[in-house]
Structure 1
Amino acid sequence: MFLKELSDIPGVSGFEGKVREFIKEKIKDKVDQIEVDKLGNLIAFKKGKVNKKLMISAHMDEVGFIVSNIEEDGKLSILPLGSIDPRVVLGKKVVVGEKQILGVIGSKPIHLMEGYEKVSFENIKVDIGTTKKQEAEAKVKIGDFVSFAPNAMVHGEWISGKALDDRGGCSLLIDLILEDLDLYYDTFFAFVIQEETGLRGSGPCAFKIKPDLAIVIETTTSGDNPEFPEARRSSELGKGPVITPAHRGYVNDERLFNFAVKVAEENKIPYQIKRRTAGGTDAARIAITTGTPSLVISIPSRYIHSPICVLNINDYRNTFKLLSLILIKEVL
């Protein structure tokens, strides 16, 4: 399990290189072939028993920001890469660019805001400790990424940290490769780019592989916050992997969905059905691009797309158990 290490690596959409190199180093000696395509997707192949292709994917990128301007007072204007509510980022530590310059996100103090003045990315800035534009330009440049600062911590059966969406999925794929399973299908483990900015990497990746079936591994919102009624809970921590029947833009293949449920029940693996359809995944892009029947299986997590996500390690372990059984069986 590589959750803590992967969480702490900066890998905002479009800047996944450090994540990709970490993963490649871990798996390169355990696969039959490995390559990086023109977009930056990392594709690792392991031979199976039959000449049918399974693509199992997770996205490497995380939500974050990009520097859009350097102000005269040395502060940085930023714009989001991916879906982030600006209210959750105020006062949070970030790192900027390849030099990982430390900064803090700030905005107009709440007590000075008038009426229902809205927090937006137009009026928040990153403070990197400079007071002049020229001083800031010596450290960063327009177009640099801005990532939440590393903060991963393990607390017994819990882990918190940034970017668990979808470094949880990446860690699972690494573990599945290292387990050296007796794979049924010729299996392509795809670590894809830019999911958070519009599912950009998975389509070309699937077009290259041309899989017969696909499984997307995600880290999904749980919604089991104390203030939420049960009816609003998409899934809950501690209740096992989340099998998705449908989400925005795609109804998951019914055969794959039923097969995953059957494997979980036959092996007494706790699981849950995702109860809301908000949000989308690479499964939609793969299905649209190649006509491939696809399924999403996820680890539930609180507070995704924020500086600190929370994940239950038992959910991770049970997701691994379910996937390790699915990959050695004939599905379609």
Structure 2
Amino acid sequence: MAVELTETSGVPGYEDRIRELVRAEFADSVDRVRTDAMGNVVGTIDGSTDYEVAVAAHMDEIGFMVSHVEGDEGESGFLKLDALGGWDARVLKAQRVTVHTEDEDLPGVIGSPPPHTMDPEERETPPDVEDVAVDLGLPYEEVEDRVSVGDLVTMDQSTELVGETLTGKAMDDRICLYAMLQTAQAIDNPDATIHFCATVQEEVGLRGARALGVDVDPDLAIAMDVTVANDVPEFDEGEHVTRLGEGTAIKLKDGSVITSPKVHRRFKAIAEDEGIDYQLEVLPAGGTDTAGFQHTHGAKPVGALSIPNRYMHTVTEAVHRDDVAATVDLLTAFLEREDGTADYML
């Protein structure tokens, strides 16, 4: 299931294919499923109390929208792109992509000129997304006929086991979506009513979670997302944030939120009681759906679990299988203990 989730395409605002997979997975694990006007999917397990918890993981991946079809009659056609989410254009060169039109999926490549044909200034100048062009290997007339402005583009990459890691595109946030779906299957007869929320448009401003925070209005919200693991040679130890293989990450803060102290302390206490590996996350920048719930419908206690992720926002994102398992174990143990009696007020 994790491979299917990561390899399936779904950019912000167009999460349709992922939404179908999520609804199918929810069918046997929750009491009811609904989809809202933005496309968020909520699978609810009814509890024995009035206390409600929301758990959120986002469905969208970073990608592109076609902004222009470029070329001349009798020559090759190319696509210019507008980014959907935060891309570093340096990782886009010489990559395969898929162009999603209304009628079909087309393979394409983002080319890169041979380095020996570039002058020193060109080689040293960082590219911009606006400089990128998709080559479909087709004449301009055919490209113009088959592709429209507004069509979508995603990276084309398989998901592979590399040693103890799973690597591919869209681990952000499909691996947490997978962990959330696994947790929903593991929960049975909870005290709290639990809303498992597969959210949309996180990569362009936490938009789905902000709407959902109003509609669901939980007593407690828990977000799930990947986090930076800079545990590679070019970074000093103090820049790692998290390390692969050392367990799930209990978030203390990121660029959008400071999690509720009593919530993250409860996560820590349960992990220690259950012997679940964990690490603490202080992420200097970046945001998660945690803030989306905290900013709506009044003050709410919030927490977050993160899965460490190397090479974030590239096509070779990598997560460790033990960290994924620890995240499922800790989230399940936490939710099974939620009955409304824990005091998260400051």
> What are the residue-to-residue correspondences of 1:38-49 with 2, within 5 Å?
38-49=37-48
Letter in 1 for 2:69: I
After TM superposition, give the deviation of residue 277 of structure 1 in Å. 2.3
Bigger Cα displacement from structure 2, 59-68 vs 177-186: 177-186
1:299 aligns with 2:299: no
Query: Which residue does 2:108 correspond to in 1?
Result: 103
How many Å separate the matches in 2 of 1:323 and 1:130? 49
Give SS of 2:282's match.
Answer: coil
Query: Which residue does 2:11 correspond to in 1?
Result: 12
Picking from 179, 185, 197, the partner of 2:192 is: 185
Bigger Cα displacement from structure 2, 106-115 vs 19-28: 106-115
Query: Which residue does 1:123 correspond to in 2?
Result: 131
1:155 aligns with 2:158: no
> What are the residue-to-residue correspondences of 1:270-289 with 2, within 5 Å?
270-289=277-296
Query: Which residue does 2:331 correspond to in 1?
Result: 323
After TM superposition, give the deviation of residue 14 of structure 1 in Å. 1.3
After TM superposition, give the deviation of residue 173 of structure 1 in Å. 1.4
Bigger Cα displacement from structure 2, 123-132 vs 255-264: 123-132
Letter in 2 for 1:15: Y
CA distance 1:137–1:187, change in 2 (3 Å): same
Letter in 1 for 2:287: G
1:246 aligns with 2:253: yes
Query: Which residue does 1:89 correspond to in 2?
Result: 92
Give SS of 1:128's match.
Answer: strand
How many Å separate the matches in 2 of 1:126 and 1:113? 23
How many Å separate the matches in 2 of 1:245 and 1:129? 48
Picking from 248, 258, 269, the partner of 1:262 is: 269
TM-score by length of 1: 0.96
Q: Deviations over 1:282-321 (max 9, x none)?
A: 1112101122211110110101111121111111011111
Q: Deviations over 1:115-159 (max 9, x none)?
A: 243311222100111131x21023221111110113111235321
After TM superposition, give the deviation of residue 267 of structure 1 in Å. 1.3
Judge conservation of contact 1:181–1:324 (CA < 8 Å) in 2: no
Judge conservation of contact 1:64–1:145 (CA < 8 Å) in 2: yes
Q: Deviations over 1:7-34 (max 9, x none)?
A: 1100111110000101111112321111
After TM superposition, give the deviation of residue 257 of structure 1 in Å. 0.7
Picking from 186, 190, 213, the partner of 2:220 is: 213
1:172 aligns with 2:179: yes
After TM superposition, give the deviation of residue 246 of structure 1 in Å. 1.0
Q: CA RMSD in A?
A: 1.4
How many Å separate the matches in 1 of 2:233 and 2:2? 25
Judge conservation of contact 2:99–2:105 (CA < 8 Å) in 1: yes
How many Å separate the matches in 2 of 1:267 and 1:30? 24
Query: Which residue does 2:22 correspond to in 1?
Result: 23
How many Å separate the matches in 1 of 2:98 and 2:169? 12
Query: Which residue does 1:35 correspond to in 2?
Result: 34
Aligned length: 330
Picking from 124, 148, 152, the partner of 1:141 is: 148
Letter in 2 for 1:161: G
How many Å separate the matches in 2 of 1:269 and 1:113? 54
TM-score by length of 2: 0.92
Letter in 1 for 2:111: G
- Unaligned stretches of 5+ residues in structure 1: none
Letter in 1 for 2:223: V
How many Å separate the matches in 2 of 1:276 and 1:35? 33
How many Å separate the matches in 2 of 1:14 and 1:107? 29
- Unaligned stretches of 5+ residues in structure 2: none
Judge conservation of contact 2:307–2:324 (CA < 8 Å) in 1: yes
Query: Which residue does 1:56 correspond to in 2?
Result: 55
After TM superposition, give the deviation of residue 41 of structure 1 in Å. 0.3
Judge conservation of contact 2:90–2:126 (CA < 8 Å) in 1: no
Bigger Cα displacement from structure 2, 179-188 vs 195-204: 179-188
